[in-house]
Each structure stands twice: as C-alpha cells, then as structure tokens.
Amino acid sequence: MPKKSKSKFEKLEKQVAKFNEEEIEIPDKLPAIAMRSNVVVYPNTVMPFYVGREKSLYALEEAMENYNQLLFVVSQKDPVIENPKEKDLYKIGTVVRIMQIGKLPDGTFKVLVEGLVRAKRKKSLEKRFFKFELEILKKRYQRTKRLIALMRVVRDEMQKYVQFSRKIPTEALMFLEDMEDPDVFADLAASICPGTLEEKQELLETLHPAERLEKILALISKETELLEIEHQLDQKVKQRIEKSQKEYFLREKLRVIREELGGEEDAEIKELREKIEKGDYPDYVKEKAVFELNRFEKMSPYSPEANVIRNYLDWILNLPWNDETEDNLDIKNARKVLNKEHYGLDEAKERILEFLAVRKLSTSQKAPILCFVGPPGVGKTSLGRSIANALGRKFLRMSLGGLRDEAEIRGHRRTYVGALPGRIIQLIRKAGVKNPVILLDEVDKMGISFQGDPASALLEVLDPEQNKDFVDLYLELPFDLSDVLFVTTANTLYNIPIALKDRMEIIEIPSYTNVEKFYIAKDYIIPKVLSELGNAKSKIRFRKEAIKKVISDYTLEAGVRELERKVRTIVRKAALELVESKNSIIITNKKVEEFLGAPRIKNEDKLQEPTVGVATGLAWTPYGGSTLFVETILYPGKGNLLITGQLGDVMKESAKLALSLTRKICGNSFSEKFSQNDIHVHVPEGAVPKDGPSAGVTLVTSLVSAVKETPVDNNIAMTGEITLRGRILPVGGIKEKVLAAYRKGIKKIILPKQNESDIKKVPEYILEEIELVFVENIEEVLEVALSGENK
C-alpha cells in the first residue's frame, strides 16, 4: 500500500475515538470488505477482525474518510480464495460501524466493529476495491407469545450448551438474560451459536426473529447433545481410571499384608502351581512353567506382560504332552471300516493295513507321511477320515489352500501382540491327544509371500526324523509330533516343492471308471442321500439303467461330486412328487430326463470316419483323462508353420519337432509340397490351455496324413513323446488316458513300449474291449494309424 495511505491510517487511528455515538443515517452505497475467516458479523453485536489485503485497506480508508465510519462486510463463499471476485461473495452481509482501529507489528490492522443492520448488495460501483449499492433489509414482526416462548427455550438451551462447552465463557449468557427485544436477542444468540459458515450465513439471511430462533434452537440442541455424549464418555473413562488405580492400590496393599502374615499365595497362582506339580508333563515343561509362574507372581496383574505370561501358561499346561489314544490294531476291523466307507482305492487301503500290521508287530514303528494325489472328488479327504476311524484315533483337518504365512505352521513369537501357537499345535490341543490323524488338505496350493514360505516350514513337521522335537515359536519348547499320523492331499505333484515331496509317501488315486462310479452311486451315494428322507426312503428306488444314464449322460468328471449333486437333484424332485402324489416312485431313464432335463454331455465321442489330417490324441489333466483332436491342413504359401489352440511352450516345440520329423519321413518326393504350402496345425477347444510333450506322436501322425493325403484311422487314439530320431518315449497318466478312450468308444490305443507296465492299473474289463498297441518308433505308429494305399 502507498506510504501516503499508511500515513492517513495513522491519523485515522487517532481520530476514531473522537466520533460521537449519535445515530447515523445509513447510505445506500458503501465500501465493502470480504470476510475470509469462518466468521459472520450479525447486527447488534460487536466483533473484531483483521484487515491485511490491499483491497480491504482501500475500502477501510474510504469508509473512514467519506462514509462516517460505516462499512459493509460480507463473507466469502470459499475462505481459501486470496483475491475474490464479486461472484465469490454471498449476497447478504451486514452494515457495521467502525469502533476502533489498531495497527499490528506485521502491518495488518485489527478493526473492532459494531453490527448495525442487514443489507443486500445489488450493484458493484468500484474496481480498485469492493463498493456496492445496497438494499437495507428490515423485517416487521409482532411480539407474540410464541416468540417469547422461543426466546425462553433458546435461553435455556444456550445455558446447557455453555455448561458443556469449554470454548464459551459463562459471561456470554449475561447479554441474553435481560434482553427483551426478540430481534436483538436472536442476533446475540446467533453470534454465540456454533455451526459451519453456511449455517451461520443462513442465520444472517433469515430476517424474521422467530424463524431465526427456530434454526438457532436446532443447531444448539444438536451440538448440546453431542457435547453431553462426550461429557458422559469422559466421565466413564475417568471412573475406570480411578477404579483401576484403586484396585491396584488395594491389591498391592493386600500383597504386603499377606507377606506379613506368612506369604499366603493368590488363589489363581496357587491353582497353577498345583496343576504343574500334579500334571503329567515332561521335566523341561515343568521347569519352564515354574519359571514363568514365578515371573507372573512378581508382576502387577495389570501389566501387559502378565497377561502374556498367563496365556502362555494356559497353553503349555493344557497341551497333551503324554496323553494318547490306543490304536485299534484289528486288521479285519480296519479292512471292514475302509471298505464300508470307500469303494475301490485298493492301493491306499493296502498301505494303511500294512502300517497296522507292522505296528502290531512292533510299537517302535514311526507313523508314515502319506500323500494322496488325484483329481478332485475321488475321495482323498474322506479317506483320511476313514483312516482315523479304522485306527480308532481322533481326526482333525487343516486346509493349506492359499496359505502364505509361515507363522500359521510355526506360530508367532510371544513378543508380538496377540501371538498364538501355529495351527499344528492348536489342532493337537483341540484333539486332546498327541497321536491324532491330521489331514493337511490341498498341500499343492500353498503360496509364498513376504511373510515366509509355509511349504518350507512344513519340512520339519512332515519329517519323521525331525518332528520328534518340533519347536513352535510361541511355545519355545520341543513337542513330539512323531506319533501323529499326517495325511496330505494334492491334485498335482508338480506344484509341491521337491524337498517336501521327498518326505512323503505318494499314493496316486486315479479317476473312477464308469463301472466304479455305478457301484459307488448304488452302494454309497444313493443310500446316503435317501437316508436323509427318514421313513420315506423306501418309497424312492433307482433302476440300474437310470444310474448308468446319469453317469454317462450328465457327468463327465474324474470323481463323483457332480454325480452326487445330480443324485440329490433327482431325490429332491422325487420327494416333491412323492409328497404331492403319495405314491412310490421308481427312477427310470425317463424320470432321469424329466428331472435333469436333456443330457448335458454332448462332446464328440470320436470321428465318424477316417479323415485326412485329423488324428486323435490322449491327454491327462488334473481332473482326469480326455481325448483331443489334432487337425492339420496345407494351403498355398512359403512353408511357414502356424500353430493355434492355446498351446503351451512345450507343445509348440513338439509341433516344430514333429514338422522336422515329417519332412524326413516324407522324403524328397514331397519337398515341393512343403516349400509351396503353409502348414496350419490346430487343436480344438481353443479356450482351454494345453501343454506337455505327450502329443508328439499325434502331431506327427496328423502332419504325415495331411502331407500324404492319407486318412487316419478314426478308431485309433494315441499318446507318446517323440524324439527327433523318431523314437517314442514314455508318458504319464496312462490309466486316465485309457479310461478316456474307453469312454469315447475308441477300440485301439497306441502307447509307448516303455509304458507297458502301467497297464496293470487298468481294470481287466476295459482291457478286454480295447486293443493296445505298444510301439518304439514313429514308423510303427504310422503303420498302424494310417489307412489307405499311400502310407
């Protein structure tokens, strides 16, 4: 601001006090100041504020020199704006009279003003600073009984507010006590009333005192209610602190009195000490428990560490360090239990019976770590429960799917808040014995994160040589897990770390054949589902052909979960029909279609006739075996190879290898065909990812067929890895692949010679209906697979 203006302000500062207080006529044009603090000046109130912006100083100077100390103050809509425009201001403000001006050290001015009357800005008259043409706002009203009652209610509510509020002194009420003018009373109450800038501006814009008092009452009541709740919370906290201090003082006093009278122990400590002395614990556990109990006795019961020690003692004194159940070693009973609850699964059952036989001869035999690997729904988890039933042991299950925190296995150290032992120790405590059967489900689906690798933590748990002294980080004491029979389950082996896999005995549980599914449905699933109907179970019967239809036309899975769901659907619909008709229901093929709709399995079984360039391959998936077609066509081009069908890297390499081997097999007589055509190899069901080397034989057969234009026998399926020399290497999943071919109605299968021993796992009735051809090189494959004159 110019020096000249500053000197004028110094003079004006001295002249302010000389103005008399006689009533001044308010002009219709006044300079204005934009208020950017969360303050609204009301008529009939005195309010200080600070002026520092250049525009505001010019307006202040104009008011002092030319407008008899009168000024128009109006609030900004957004206090953050440094240089507001006319659109940034509210329409309604207050005409004030300047009572005092004081200059501060930082160059700003402190101005004390008295609110006179509400006014509405109409037109801007100046560019250097705000100056508006004004419309004075006055509201005529009558002093009614309702208005007087409102004043009383607001006065009472204001007293409550001042009582609870720590921001407003009680002296503020003195102005309201003797005020009889409703308009002045409402303005004074509004100046004390809490609220946002928008709420305060709304009070300023409300002209009738009755309406203003109603809004003030709503704001004050709301704020008083909140302050009252805060006060009650403060009182509760204060009472609790006082109670805690009082209890601490009394307990300390009682402890000293007991020491003086002979050192009588606290009842809880006495109970813990007796439990340690009488309990069947190893010596190192007793020693640790006594040490922790002595620490606990010396601590204040309100110390955080005391609660940690109390929980720790609770854990170590309630673990079954020496308690165990006696094994039922009756081989006949075990065989009966296993056969009653599961059909098939001969290898898994035989291994359990072997364990029982050895355990019967020698009690020093360590429990094996079994890992059941197979597709979903084949009975891996339920087989673990059957093992517990056969042995007469308690059964517990822990799901490892998605587990990423190592502490879930090893536990947390006691230094962490809310620390607990790992899930293994928690399950042992829940069982109450040290030799339960613990099923670790989905061991192939654990993850790794910044919290550690739980698969590595399992290495100690699942090693018979190490788990005798398993140390949980919370207990910090060795616990013997060697008597626990751990059973793990997995869908695939390749996701399990090698070190962990090496500690387990792998037992593969293959997918079920349709015949096995039939007996499982007839002897296990249907009786179980019908038993849930109570006495009505005898009124619903399944025909054999109906069961077979459900299996063949409505389910396509390795296990029997979907089969059970379909059976339950049929039984539910039959139950509804039974309730309505009250007649016995026999489930036939017609009823199956009526209840389940049209058959769902509509996959192409096999090629209807020999086709050029199309060979049938066999694949293994985690959900069982399946067939796939490899299609090859040639079209004019430059000898490029195009591969589609969402194939993985290994399968793409097999296709390239197959093309090179095909060139060699076809010889020079077909060289022009390779150079003048592009080759497109496609594996249908393009949305399904496919990978692995076992399609090598199928790829070569399809390529040779397309190049030589010789059809491939549609009754033949094949599998095997191919080498660049044309040798056939063995592959996995032979049983699942043979079952898949059998389901599709294929009569002949080409298999690697080295997989001949795997055929022992295939049921005899399937081998009687399928011809198996074992080959060692690609020439033998083509001799069998290609039909026609030009092989």
Q: pLDDT of 742-777, one tens digit each? A: 878 888 999 999 988 888 878 888 888 889 999 999
Domain check: are 478 and 580 in the same one? no
Give me the helix-helix angle, 589-596 and 544-554, nearest 10°: 40
Residue 15 inside a domain? The answer is yes
Q: Tens digit of pLDDT for each residue in 537-573?
A: 888 889 999 998 888 888 877 788 889 999 999 999 8
In whole angstroms, how far apart are CA 8 and each of 4, 549, 634?
6, 107, 101
Q: What are phi and psi of 501, to 5 degrees?
A: -65, -35
- The answer as to whether 184 is a domain residue is no
Q: Is residue 395 in a domain? A: yes
Q: Which ranges in 682-777 belong to alpha helices (H)? A: 696-708, 734-743, 764-767
Of 105, 137, 169, which closes a domain? 137
* Whether residue 474 is found in the same domain as residue 542: no
Please give the angle made by the CA atoms of 722, 727 and 732, to the nearest 5 degrees: 55
Q: Is 618 found in the same domain as 503?
A: no
Same domain, 489 and 357: yes
Residue 88: CB atoms within 10 A of its CB come to 13
CATH number at residue 126: 2.30.130.40
Question: Is 374 annotated as belonging to a binding site?
Answer: yes
The enclosing domain of 696 has a CATH number of 3.30.230.10
**What are the start-end ranges of the H helices in 83-144?**
none
- The span from the CA of 709 to the CA of 790, in Å, is 8
Strand, helix or coil for residue 587: strand
Give me the chain's average pLDDT, please. Answer: 83
304 annotated as ligand-binding = no
Are 283 and 341 in the same domain? Answer: no
Is residue 666 domain-shared with residue 752, that is, in the same domain?
Answer: yes
In a domain, 203, yes or no: no
Rounded CA separation 221/734 (Å): 81
Does residue 376 have a known ligand-binding role?
A: yes
Is 606 a catalytic site residue?
no
| CA distances (Å), origin 789, targets 705, 709, 714, 786 | 12, 10, 16, 9
- Please identify which of the residues 200, 434, 566, 737 carries the catalytic annotation: 737
Q: Is residue 466 part of a domain?
A: yes
Q: In total, how many domains does the chain have?
A: 5
Does the annotation list 613 as a binding residue? no
Question: How sure is the predictor about 343, in pLDDT bands with cuts at 50, 70 and 90?
Answer: confident
DSSP letters, 636-656, are: ESSS-EEEESSB-HHHHHHHH
Q: What is the pLDDT of residue 599?
A: 82
At residue 634, the pLDDT reads 92
Choose among 365, 274, 280, 367: nearest CA to 322: 280
| Domain final residue, candidates 137, 170, 201 | 137
Out of 77-81, 351-355, 452-456, which region has the weakest mean confidence (pLDDT)? 452-456
CA distances in angstroms from 162 to 46, 184, 209, listed in the order given:
19, 19, 22
Rounded Cα distance, 558 and 739, in Å = 10
Q: Is residue 369 located within the same domain as residue 457?
A: yes
Give the residue ranges of DSSP H helices in 116-192.
145-164, 174-177, 182-192
Looking at the fold, whether 768 and 690 belong to one and the same domain comes out as yes
pLDDT digits (tens, 9 = 90+) for 723-732: 998 899 998 8
Q: Is the pTM of this model over 0.75?
A: no
**pLDDT (tens digit per residue) in 4-21:** 444 554 544 444 444 434
Residues 722 and 615 placed together within one structural domain of the fold: yes
Would 221 be classed as within a structural domain?
Answer: no
Sign of the CA dihedral running 621, 626, 627, 629: negative
User: Is the model's pLDDT at 134 over the cut of 60?
Assistant: yes
Residue 627 annotated as binding site: no
Tokens in use for 506? 């792998």
pLDDT attached to residue 682 = 92
Whether residues 407 and 285 share a domain: the answer is no
Backbone angles phi, psi at 408, to 5 degrees: -65, -25
Which is nearest to 297 in space by CA: 335, 339, 266?
A: 266
pLDDT at 468 over 80: yes
% the chain with pLDDT above 70: 90
Partners of 616 in the β-ladder = 629, 717
Domain of 359: which CATH number? Answer: 3.40.50.300
User: Which candidate in 694, 702, 705, 708 is catalytic?
Assistant: 694
Average pLDDT over every residue of 134-157: 84
**Between these two residues, 93 and 600, which has the higher pLDDT value?**
93
Q: Which domain holds residue 40?
A: 3-137
Is 50 exceeded by the pLDDT of residue 789? Answer: no
Checking if the pLDDT of 261 tops 50, the result is: yes
For residue range 488-503, what is the model confidence (pLDDT) as tens digits? 999 888 888 888 888 8
Identify whether residues 457 and 566 lie together within a single domain.
Answer: no
pLDDT band at 77 (very low <50, low <70, confident <90, very high): confident
- Is 694 known to be catalytic? yes
Q: Is 304 exposed, middle or buried (0-12, 13-18, 19+ CB in 10 A)?
A: exposed
Asked whether residue 164 is domain-assigned, the answer is no
Do 396 and 344 have their domain in common?
Answer: yes
